[in-house]
Amino acid sequence: MTTIVRNLQLVRDRITTACVAAGRNPASVRLLAVSKTFGADAVIDAASDGQRAFGENYIGEGVEKILALRQQPALQALEWHCIGPVQGNKTRLVAEHFDWVQSVDRFKIAQRLSEQRPADLPPLQVCLQVNVDGGANKSGLAPEDVLALAKEIAQLPRLVLRGLMAIPEPAIDFVAACAVHTRTKALFDEINATGALPAPMDTLSMGMTADLEAAIHCGSTMVRIGTAIFGKR
C-alpha cells in the first residue's frame, strides 16, 4: 500500500466520521483530490484506489497532466476540475480539457468558456466562486452579486451551473470555521429558494484538509483535499 493510498483511506474515514456526526449520509459528500504540483504518478496512485475526481489550480500544469493520463485507457474516465483562477487567455484550455470549473466569478469568463467548449464534449460543469468572508487576497464574487451572475450563466449554452465554491480564510477552530461555512450554505439555500434558476444548484464545494469536518457539518457536498492525501507542497 502506497502512502497516497493510505492517506486516501484516512481522509475517507474522516469524511465518514464527520457525516455520521452531522447526521448525514457519507455518500452525500464527494471527495475531490487536489493534485496540483504533484506529478502524474501521484494521480495514478490515487486512481488505483478508486479516486476519480481530481482538482488542479494551475491550468497549464493541469492540462499537461490530463493529456498524459488520458493516453492510458484505464484513466480516460477520470474527472478533472479546474479550481484555480481562470484568466481570459486560458479559457480555451479549460473549455477543451476540463470537466468542471469551480472558480468562475465573471460573466466574460463564463461566456468565453461557453463559446469555446467543443460541441463533441458534454457541457462544462460550473460553480461560482464566492468570497464569502471578504478575504483581501481571495478571488470570488461578493455574496450580494452571486444571484445575478448565476441567472446570467444559467442561460449560456454548453455550460451547466452546478453550485457554489468558497475558499475562506483559515479559521482558528471548528466554531469559527462553521460560522463562515454556514454563511455560504445560507447563500446557496437562499438562491435555490428564489426559483430563479432553470434547475436548483446541487453542489456546495467547501472544506479542505484543515476544515473538512466543519464544512461537512455545515452542508458541504464536495470537499477539496490536497495536503492530507498527497502531502505538503
pLDDT of residue 136: 67
Q: What is the CATH number of the domain that holds 177?
A: 3.20.20.10
pLDDT of residue 133: 86
Give the C-alpha separation, 163 to 104, whole Å. 11
Instruction: Give residue-wise pLDDT tens across range 146-171.
Output: 999 999 999 999 999 999 999 999 99
pLDDT block averages, 10 residues each, the chain of length 233: 95 98 98 96 97 97 96 94 96 98 98 98 98 80 97 97 95 96 98 97 98 98 98 87
Alpha carbon 173 to its chain centroid, in Å, reads 23
Give the C-alpha separation, 131 to 138, whole Å. 6
Q: Under 8 Å CB-to-CB from 62, ≥6 apart: which residues?
A: 36, 56, 80, 82, 97, 98
pLDDT of residue 137: 61
Q: Under 8 Å CB-to-CB from 146, ≥6 apart: which residues?
A: 128, 130, 164, 187, 191
pLDDT of residue 153: 96
Domain that holds residue 46: 3-230
Which helix (H) or strand (E) segment is 4 a member of? helix 3-21
For cell 488542479, name the residue: 56
pTM of the model: 0.96
Single-letter residue type at 212: L
Number of domains in the chain: 1
Longest dimension (CA), the chain: 48
Beta bridge partners of 55: 34, 81
pLDDT of residue 139: 83
Single-letter residue type at 230: F
